[in-house]
Structure 1
Amino acid sequence: MSLLRVSNLKKYFAVKRSAGEILMRVPQKFVKAVDGVSFEINEGETFGLVGESGSGKTTTGRLVLRLIEPTEGTIEFDGVDITRLSNNEMRSFRRKMQVIFQDPMAALNPYMKIGDAVKHGLEIHNIGKSEQERRNMVLEMLEKVNLQPEIYSRYPHELSGGQRQRVVIARALILKPKFVVADEALAMLDVSVRSQLLKLLLDLKKEMNLTFLFITHDLATTKYICNKIGVMYLGKFVEIGTYNHIYKSPMHPYTKALISAIPEPDPDIMSSKKRFIPEGEVPNPINPPKGCRFHPRCPFSMSICGSVEPELVKMEDGRIIACHLYKSN
C-alpha cells in the first residue's frame, strides 16, 4: 500500500530581476528546480533519490514535507492530499513526517542543550504528561541511537560530528513518525562513522517500521538501504528501478554515467571498468534544453532527442525510463 504518492510535482523559483529589467518589461524567468516528477513509496520501503548537485533532489524532499509550497502537483500522504491542507491542518501530519538534515551543526540550535533540542518536538505536540516523562522519553531515544545519558546536558559544539548526527536522528524519531526524509544524512561524516550510522538507520527502520525517502549523491550507499531508486537530472526522473536495475543493468545513458563513476575497491576491476563521462556541463535550469534534457551531453543522441521530450514508460522488467532509445512493453 502506498504511503506517499507524488503526482506531477513542480517547483519553479522566480529569478530576481533588476529595476531596469522590470521597467523594460523583461519577462519573468524561473529556475525549474523540480519539473513534473511522479513516484510512489509503499509503507516500509526506502526510496532512494540520486543525481548530481542541482538535479532537484533536496527540493523534492522539502516539497514532500511541505517545507516549501509546490508550484503545481499533488502530494498524497496516507491517502490525504496534503497540498490542499492549511498550516493548521498540516499540524497533525507533522508528527508523522520528519526530516534528517545534512548538516547537524546547522540543524541544531547552538544555545540549546541536546536534551532540550530532542524534547522540543514533544513539547510542541504536547506529548508526555510531565516534564519527567518527557525527559525519560528523550533518554530512551538517545539510548536507541547509541548516545550516553550525559549527552542530555551538553551543547552541540561539545559533540563530535557523528554524535551530532545521532542527535538529529533522535530528534526526528522521538515523535515516532511513519515517514522520514533523510536529506544527505550521511554526507558530512567520515567513512567509518557513515557505515555505523547507516547500520543504525537500518536497525531503526526495522524496529520502528519506518518509510524513508533517502536523498543522496552517493549511489554506493543506496545499495544497502533502498528498495527502489529514482535517478534525477535537471528536475526530472530519467530512470526508476530496483538496485539490480540501476546498478547491474542501467539503461538510461545518464544512469550509466553515474554508475561508471562509482569507485571500486579492487584496483584491477577499477582499471578495467568502462567509464562513461558525459560531454560538456549541466545545462542552465532557467533555460533547459528542448526535448530530452540530457541530449546535449549524450553520445547516443538522435534527432528526435532534441525536439521531443521522452515520457516515462514502464519496461518489461518493471523499471521506468524516459529515453527515446527504448520502447515500452
Structure 2
Amino acid sequence: MSTPLIEVKNLKKYFPLKRSISEVITRKPQKFVKAVDDISFVINKGETLGLVGESGSGKTTTGRLVLRLLDPTDGIIKIDGVDITSLSQEELRKFRKKIQIIFQDPMAALNPYMKIGEAIRHGLQIHKIGKTYKEQKEIVYNIMERVNLKPAEEYYDRYPRDLSGGQRQRVVIARALALKPEFVVADEAIAMLDVSVRSQLLKLMIDLKEEFNLTYLFITHDLATTKYICDRIAVMYLGKIVEIGTFEDIYRNPAHPYTKALISAVPEPDPKLNKEKIIPKGEVPNAVNPPKGCRFHPRCPYATEKCRTEEPPVIKIDDQHEVSCHLYAK
C-alpha cells in the first residue's frame, strides 16, 4: 500500500481585489480572484505528481500553498500527517527543512550580490546543519558536485551573473536539496531553459529523486515533459482540478474534454502521423467571476444545459483515475 506524504483537502485561495474609493463609500461587496477553488489531492511517498494546465489555472498558487508560502483561505494541508495550516511561524520555520521549492526563474530566486556557494550554505546556517563553517562548506561542495557544478571549488565563489541559465538552475536545485528534504515543489523548473539543457536537468531531477528518496510536485504548462518524470498527472483549469490519473490514464485514455485538448496539442515526432488537434473555442474566463456549473462549459463542444448550471461531481473511472465531468455521470 502506498503511504500518503501530502494530503490536500478542499483547498481554497481567494485574493481580494483592491477597491476604489467610490466602491468603499457605496459599500460594494469585496471581489476576489478565485485562484484555487476547492481542490483535493494526495501525493504518495516517493511519487511525482505532475500539475498541468494553462497559464492562470492556479498551478503555481497551489504549489506555494502546499509549502505554506501563501496562507490558504480555507482547506487542510497535511505533510507526513502534520496539518501545516495550524502551525505557528516558529513551528513552520523548523518544519521547512523537510519541504523545499525549485523556482522557475533562477536569476530572480538568487541574490545577485551573494556568491552561489554562500547562497547554498545559507539554508544550512538557518537550520544549524553542520557544526563549523568547514563542515558546512564540505556539504555545499558535495551537493554542487552532485548537480554537476564541477569542480565545486571553482564555482563556489562565483556570482549568479557569471553562470549560464542551466548552471544557475543547478544552483537552485542544489540549494533546495542541501537540507535533504522529503518533499520538493518544482515550479516550472525547466521552462526557461534551452531544449538540450531541459533534457539534462530532467534526467538530473530523476536521478536525484532516486538517490535522495524525494517526492515531487512537478508543475508545468508543457504536458510533453510529464511523460518523462511523472507517475500521476493532475489537470487544472481555472482553479479546479478537472482530471487526475496515472500517466497512462491521461495519455492513453483522457476523459475530460479539456485534457483531450491538451493531449492533442502535444507534438508528435512522426511527421506522417495525422493527429487531430482539438482547439477549445474562446478564451479562458475571468477568475474573478468564473462561469457557473462546469468552468469549462463556455469552451466545451459537448456542453449541455446541466453543465451550465450544475458543478460536476468527482467521478471515479477506476481506482486511480478521476474526472469532474457530467458526461461520465451515471
TM-score of the superposed pair, with normalisation by structure 2: 0.98
1:261 aligns with 2:265: yes
| Counterpart among 280, 303, 307 of residue 301 in structure 1 | 303
**Structure 2: distance between partners of 1:191 and 1:317:** 35
Q: Which runs of 5+ in 1 are unaligned?
A: none
Q: How does 1:128-167 map to 2 (within 5 A)?
A: 128-148=130-150, 149=152, 150-167=154-171
Residue number among 21, 25, 28 corresponding to 1:26 in the alignment: 28
Segment of structure 1 superposing worse, 253-262 or 307-316? 307-316
Matches within 5 A, 1:183-194: 183-194=187-198
Q: Which runs of 4+ in 1 moved over 6 A?
A: none
| Counterpart Cα distance in 1 of 2:108 and 2:93 | 24
Tell me by how many angstroms 1:56 deviates: 0.3
User: Shift in Å at residue 317 of structure 1?
Assistant: 5.7
- Distance of 1:80 and 1:323 partners within structure 2: 32
Which residue does the alignment assign to 2:89?
Answer: 87
Q: Indicate whether 1:234 and 2:225 are aligned.
A: no
Q: What are the residue-to-residue correspondences of 1:4-15 with 2, within 5 Å?
A: 4-15=6-17
Deviations 1:178-211 (A, max 9, x none): 0000000000000000000000000000000000
1:202 matched to 2:206: yes
* Structure 1 vs Structure 2 CA RMSD: 0.8
- Whether 1:216 aligns to 2:220 is yes
The question of 1:321 aligning with 2:320 is answered no
Paired with 1:93 and 1:320, the residues of 2 have a C-alpha distance of: 31
Q: Is the 8 A contact 1:315 1:327 kept in 2?
A: no
**Cα displacement (A) at 1:92:** 2.1
* Whole-angstrom CA distance in 1 between matches of 2:277 and 2:302: 15
Give the CA deviation at 1:25. Answer: 1.1
Q: In structure 1, how many angstroms separate the alpha carbons of the residues matched to 2:242 and 2:319?
A: 16
Which of these residues, 112, 115, 121, is aligned with residue 113 of structure 1? 115
Q: Which runs of 5+ in 2 are unaligned?
A: none
Counterpart check, 1:243 vs 2:241: no
Count of aligned residue pairs for this structure pair: 326
Q: 1:80-125 CA distances to partner (integer Å, 9 max, x unpaired)?
A: 1110010011122100000000000000000000110000000000
User: Normalized against structure 1, the TM-score is what?
Assistant: 0.98
Partner of 1:11, secondary structure, is: strand
Identity %: 68
Query: 1:67-86 to 2 correspondence within 5 Å?
Result: 67-86=69-88
Task: Specify the code of the residue in structure 2 equivalent to 1:102.
Answer: Q
1: CA distance, partners of 2:149 / 2:235: 34
Q: Which amino acid aligns with 2:88?
A: S
Query: What secondary structure, in the 3-state scheme, does the structure 1 residue paired with 2:24 have?
Result: helix
Instruction: After superposition, give the CA deviation of every residue in 1:264-308 in whole Å (9 maximum; x if it has no partner).
Output: 122221xx1011110100000000000000000000001100000
Q: Structure 1 residues 5, 317: CA separation in 2 closer, same or farther (over 3 Å shift)?
A: closer
Post-superposition Cα deviations, 1:217-256, rounded to whole Å, max 9, x if no partner, equal 0111110111110000000010000111111111100000
- Is the CA contact (8 Å cut-off) linking 1:8 and 1:73 kept in structure 2? yes
Task: State the AA in 1 paired with 2:237.
Answer: Y
SS in structure 2 at match of 1:267? coil
Q: In 2, distance between residues paired with 1:94 and 1:295? A: 40
Alpha-carbon separation, structure 1, partners of 2:46 and 2:319: 22
Q: Is the 8 A contact 1:51 1:217 kept in 2?
A: yes
Could you tell me which residue of structure 1 aligns to residue 174 of structure 2? 170
> Does the 8 A contact of 1:53 with 1:217 survive in 2?
yes
**Conserved 8 A contact 1:230-1:239:** yes
For residues 79 and 182 of structure 1, the distance between their equivalents in structure 2, rounded to whole angstroms, comes to 22
> Are 1:4 and 1:75, in contact at CA under 8 Å, matched by a contact in 2?
yes
Task: Give me the whole-angstrom Cα distance separating, in 2, the residues matched to 1:212 and 1:318.
Answer: 18
SS in 2 for 1:213: strand
Aligned to 1:275: 277
